[in-house]
Structures are given as structure tokens and as C-alpha cells.
Chains A and B, each alone.
Chain A
């Protein structure tokens, strides 16, 4: 007997007490919880996102679409970045004002190569106001998961208000589980020393979020 059959057999014997006419999944789970917490206008939702991102030590900037190239140029210059990683489908206009050398992400780029890059600029798939979270789904303007992980400085551009939802339930509705997803809430952190939060471990230690629109 294979272990698969053994385990499934044990499960079935263990559940001998479960009646055959148990309510199906749809009826078994009461979903009395809220779809979002509180009613907010689109502008208030964006403000809450900014507040919660900042609360977990992300650096938050707001600008209009026309100001984005100059803001990106300024942030990269302030960081003294020499190189910036660019996902293949990033809007070309965004980086028209910076002098920083662009590095294209290639499938054959090894982890060591990524480790030498100073900064990375991406878009995102959705942002969650209540939790201060941005979600990347590997789309062409976000690139592979590793490019927002190895460099120490990540700038993420969120189009507001259209990419912002209030809550976790609303975010899951918009996302495709078949894609590899990364949910990011502030820079890398740990609570492992005396259960107190410290920012900056393995992921980017500086996370900047630009809310555009």
C-alpha cells in the first residue's frame, strides 16, 4: 500500500463519525464579517493607504502623472544609486529624467548580478489601504519576484485611486492565484529579538511608495 493510500485510508477511518449529509462548503462557513472596515471615499482610501504604509516605515510620496519622471529622478539621486533595475514592461516615460544607468532584468541574470544593483523601480498589481500593503503579481511592469527582493532599495509606483482597494477581501478578488504573488507591507522587518519590531533584514531595507494620480 502506498503512503498516499495509507494516509487517505486513515483520514477516512478517522472521520467515520461525520454524517454523510453534512452541510456543503457554501453553507458550512458563515461569512458575517465585513467586506471592508468603514465607509470611505476614494480619496480617503488613498489617504489611509499612505498613512498605513508610513506607519510601517515605508517612505510615501504623492505626485501627479506629469511629475513622476522628475520625482523618480530625484529619489534615485538622493539614494546616490548608480544602477537601477527595470522590469521589461515598465512605462518608458517614467525614467526619462534620470541619468542613473538602467539594468534590464534578464532571465539569465544570476542572483549575484542582482545583488550589485542599487535600486529597482516597479509598478504594482493592487494596494490595500487598511493594511498598508502593495501586491506584486509578476506582471510585465513588475518583473520577476527576485528583482524586488535582492536590491536594497525598492521604489514602487501605485496608480491612485484605481489600483487601491480598502481591504484584504477586496484585494484577493482582484488577484489571480495562478500568478506568483508578493504582498509587501513596509520594508523587511523582524520581531525576533525580544518580540520587538526592527526594520531591515533580508529584503530591501528601504521601501519607497509613490502614489501617482
Chain B
């Protein structure tokens, strides 16, 4: 399996292959069900969850609606605290900036904190091409990196792997990257965690350059926040001499006080903990403590295009907790790889097609990777109405229309392959506007019900290939209503 998502097939094809993988389905079912129950308990502990959720939503919305002002304020405060701010319009520019900064230090390796932004831009591959080796230090990212695999979950990128598979990857691959796995390594999680501790420690201790993302950036103070569990984040943020943080521009909150909302909602939503083991905050550089040089790379890479969509921009409220993945019936069965992006699951289905556009087969299919059940919206700690955005994006795919790409307004053509759907909708509009024709059609359908095929012919086959056709009732509803006088049983008076 390759380490990138380039050339992914459309979601239905990838998902079809994934659901046939029994191990994958068992692993995902086990993990998502474990975390679901725990999250519900952690959320139930706080009586004001609804109010925290509403405040989180409003803080993020307000920030996004004044993002230019807060970006400038953040730049000023980070600079005043001793940091250096860089701006990257796209992935290539961000990768170029980071590679040049690493080269300036004279180093050829970096240690990395788990970061969605650097996954999104393919930083590791870009650094590799420049002769710089990037070591992932989060346990799950390490499993993915050693296994030459792709991430399949926002919080736990190796969620598709069970303990036995992890043991095999460690035993086989660790020696290629540094300290080998201990002899006789078993598959108990504590032993696997210990193997990772030993393997990575030498890398932490000698590291001169750390690369991170951030969960939050505070405009008012210039403070960055990293929320983590293992301590690998603390290692990367404090031991190296140079720290480079690549952060999406939507990660801003206006004030220090705003953290009081998200530091309550994020841990409970993601790992179902009252508080995650470690949270680090830093403001520029501190004499004698931590890195001497701090660079902040502010990343656009499709975020401003997403911001231009009045319905879709709410996706930028996302704090990457992954609660929506854990409750999603589609994610649980299809797995993260089928989404063809570092952002899988419901949030990925609305984020990827907006960040990347709907030009590719996979991105055009993602808005359909949902049953619209709404469980994702229920659990979202910043109340992103994912079903609303999914429907909005489906409309854009089918009908086309104005969108913003790389800052320019363009008009999308309707996607191919939706001709039958459009024809069916046109026919429905015609019939529903003509009660006589509708009645005649319904009666005809009822009388011929025994002759109906189980699947649709021609272009309709794509629809009925994964669905049962509804059985037509023996009597149309409107006839029944008239005959029974609206269900009162008073037969015979009408008609």
C-alpha cells in the first residue's frame, strides 16, 4: 500500500473493497464501540454540555467571520513574543518553507508531533525528497509510518490495526528506522507502548528540530496549544533547539479565555477523558526553557476557498476531535482509507471536497459517503451540521454552480453520471404538478405490482444495485384515504 492518497478510486469502489475485509471490520467495530460508550459517559459528567457546545460554535463562527483581523493580530502577538511568522498559500509553499528552515539549521532529521496539517500537505514526503528524514513520534503515526501505511482516523491513524498486527509491524520494521523492537515482544498494549518508548527515546534526546501543528492559536496573546496524551508532543516541543509549527489559519481563537470552552469539550469528545494527560501551551520563545527559535507557518491550502462558501464554511469550526468518525455507521463499515484523504469519516466527507474541490472522482463522491443519519451532528462539540453541508455539496456536484478555487470565483459544470438522477427528478416534478397524471400513474403501478422487477433497468441499475426497490402497495395512499374517509373506517361514504 502506498503512503499517499493520490489516484484514489471513488468512495463506493474503495468502500466496497473495504467492507469485504473481515479483519478491518472487526478492528473498527471493536475500537469505535469502545470509544462511543466512554465518550457518552464523559459528556454526561458535565451538566452544561449544550451550553459549552453552543459557546464553542459561536467562538469559532465569530473568529471565522473576522478571520483577517484575527490573523493580523496573531501575527503581531507571535512576533512580539519572539516567534517568526510565515504564510503559505498552498501545500507546496508550506513544504518549501519548512524544508528551507530545516536546511538553515544544518540538520537532516526532524522529530514530529502528530499533526493533521502536515499530513494534509504531505510534509514527510516533501522533506524526504530534500534529504530530510521526518520521524513520526505519536504511537499511531509511528505504526502507520513503520507499516508504510496510510492514516485511517484523525485521532488514531492506525485504528485499522489490531494489537497483533502492530506487534508484527514493530518486530519487522523498527530495526530499519533505529532501535529494534525488544526480543520476544508480545501483543499486550503495555508492551507495545514500551517498545515505542524505547525506540523513540534516542531520537528525542538527539533531536535538534521539532515539527508540530497546533490545536489552538490565541490571537490576543500569541499562544499556541498542543493537546496530547503520550508525552511525545512535550518532547518535540521542548527538547529541540528549533521548533516549526504548521497550523491551518482556522485554528485561531480570539482570547486566552476562549480555551476554557475547548479544553473542556475537546478531551471528552476525542479520547473520552475529563482531561488528556498532557497539554502544552507556549508563547513565542522563553529564555533557557525550550526551543531558542520558533517558526509559525500559517497554512491556507483551500481554507479560504472553504470560507467563501456560506453553507460550507462551518466545516472550518472543526477542532479535529474525531467523535463524528466514531459514531458514523458508514465509517465503521468502510474504514478510513476509503475516504481517500487524511480527513476521513463525516468531517472528511465535507472537508476534503471543499479543501481540494470536487474535480477528482473521489472528492465528487465523498458528499455521498453518508446515510445522512445525523449522528455526527449530534456528537459534534462545535455543532457542525454535517448533513446540511453534505446535501449542499451533493447539490453542487449534481447541478454545478459558482465556487471559489485558489481564491478565484469559477462556475462548476454539473458532474457527469448524474443524468439519470436529473431526468428522474424532472419527471417527478412534472408528475407532482399534475394530480390527474399522478393518480393514473399510481393506480397503474399498483395494478402491475406483481410484474415489477427487483432491480431497475438501464441507468437506474446504479441506484438499485445497493438498495432494495420499495414494494408498491396494492392500493395507492390517496385512494385508501378517500375510501376510508381519512382512516376513520367510515367506509363507503366517499368515492
Q: Give chain A's interface residues, CB within 8 Å of chain B.
A: 2-4, 6-15, 17-18, 22, 25, 28-34, 37, 52, 56, 107, 110-112, 115, 128, 130-133, 138, 144-146, 149-150, 168-169, 172, 177-204
Q: A178 to B298, alpha carbons, bound, how many Å? A: 21
CB distance from B114 to the nearest CB of A (A): 10
Is B286's CB within 8 Å of the partner chain A? yes
Contact A132 B275 (CB under 8 A): yes
Is B76's CB within 8 Å of the partner chain A? no
A-B contact pairs, 5 of them (CB 8 A): A14-B313, A145-B237, A179-B286, A184-B277, A193-B139
CB distance from B159 to the nearest CB of A (A): 7
By a CB distance below 8 angstroms, the chain B residues around A177 are 218, 221, 223, 256, 281, 283
Given contacts A182-B279, A185-B276, A6 and B230 within 8 Å (CB-CB): no
- Place the interface of chain B in its size category: 35 or more
By a CB distance below 8 angstroms, the chain B residues around A198 are 189-190, 193
Q: A37 to B274, alpha carbons, bound, how many Å? A: 13
Which residue of the partner chain B has the closest CB to A114? B205
Given contacts A150-B205, A185-B274, A200-B197, 12 further A-B contacts (CB under 8 A): A8-B68, A12-B68, A13-B308, A144-B290, A168-B275, A185-B273, A188-B231, A190-B229, A195-B34, A201-B232, A202-B201, A202-B235
By a CB distance below 8 angstroms, the chain B residues around A7 are 71, 87, 89, 249, 298, 300, 304
Contact of A130 among B30, B71, B237, B274 (CB under 8 A): B274
CB distance from B478 to the nearest CB of A (A): 43
Q: A11 to B45, alpha carbons, bound, how many Å? A: 39
Contact B62 A18 (CB under 8 A): no
Q: A111 to B158, alpha carbons, bound, how many Å? A: 29
CB distance from B382 to the nearest CB of A (A): 12
Contact B307 A107 (CB under 8 A): no
CB distance from B199 to the nearest CB of A (A): 11
Is B67's CB within 8 Å of the partner chain A? yes
By a CB distance below 8 angstroms, the chain B residues around A8 are 68, 71-72
Q: A136 to B263, alpha carbons, bound, how many Å? A: 16
Is B46's CB within 8 Å of the partner chain A? yes
CB distance from A194 to the nearest CB of B (A): 5
Q: A98 to B66, alpha carbons, bound, how many Å? A: 57
CB distance from A198 to the nearest CB of B (A): 4
Contact B256 A190 (CB under 8 A): no
Q: A172 to B354, alpha carbons, bound, how many Å? A: 35
Q: A28 to B356, alpha carbons, bound, how many Å? A: 31
Q: A52 to B45, alpha carbons, bound, how many Å? A: 13
Contact B193 A194 (CB under 8 A): no
Which residue of the partner chain B has the closest CB to A152? B197
Q: Give chain B's interface residues, CB within 8 Å of chain A.
A: 27, 30-32, 34-35, 45-48, 51-52, 54-55, 58-59, 61-62, 65-68, 71-72, 81, 87-89, 93, 137-140, 143, 155-156, 158-159, 162-163, 166, 189-190, 192-194, 196-197, 200-201, 204-206, 218, 221, 223, 229-232, 234-235, 237-239, 249, 254-261, 263-264, 271, 273-283, 286, 288-290, 298, 300, 304-305, 307-308, 310, 313, 326, 404, 407
Q: A190 to B271, alpha carbons, bound, how many Å? A: 9
Q: A18 to B313, alpha carbons, bound, how many Å? A: 12
By a CB distance below 8 angstroms, the chain B residues around A56 are 273-274, 277
Contact of A194 among B27, B65, B88, B155 (CB under 8 A): B27
Given contacts A111-B205, A149-B238, A200 and B190 within 8 Å (CB-CB): yes
Contact of A25 among B218, B254, B260 (CB under 8 A): B254
Contact B158 A192 (CB under 8 A): yes
By a CB distance below 8 angstroms, the chain A residues around B32 are 195
CB distance from B142 to the nearest CB of A (A): 9
Contact A180 B256 (CB under 8 A): no
By a CB distance below 8 angstroms, the chain A residues around B206 are 111
Q: A188 to B237, alpha carbons, bound, how many Å? A: 16
Contact B221 A178 (CB under 8 A): yes
Q: A76 to B237, alpha carbons, bound, how many Å? A: 28
Contact A172 B259 (CB under 8 A): yes
Contact A192 B278 (CB under 8 A): no
By a CB distance below 8 angstroms, the chain B residues around A178 are 81, 221, 283
Contact A201 B278 (CB under 8 A): no
Contact of B280 among A30, A131, A181 (CB under 8 A): A181
Given contacts A189-B230, A202-B231, A146 and B279 within 8 Å (CB-CB): no
Contact B263 A203 (CB under 8 A): no
Contact B65 A22 (CB under 8 A): yes
Q: A141 to B232, alpha carbons, bound, how many Å? A: 24
Q: Which of A33, A37, A107, A195 has the most CB of B within 10 A?
A: A195
By a CB distance below 8 angstroms, the chain A residues around B155 are 191
Which residue of the partner chain B has the closest CB to A182? B280
By a CB distance below 8 angstroms, the chain A residues around B65 are 15, 18, 22
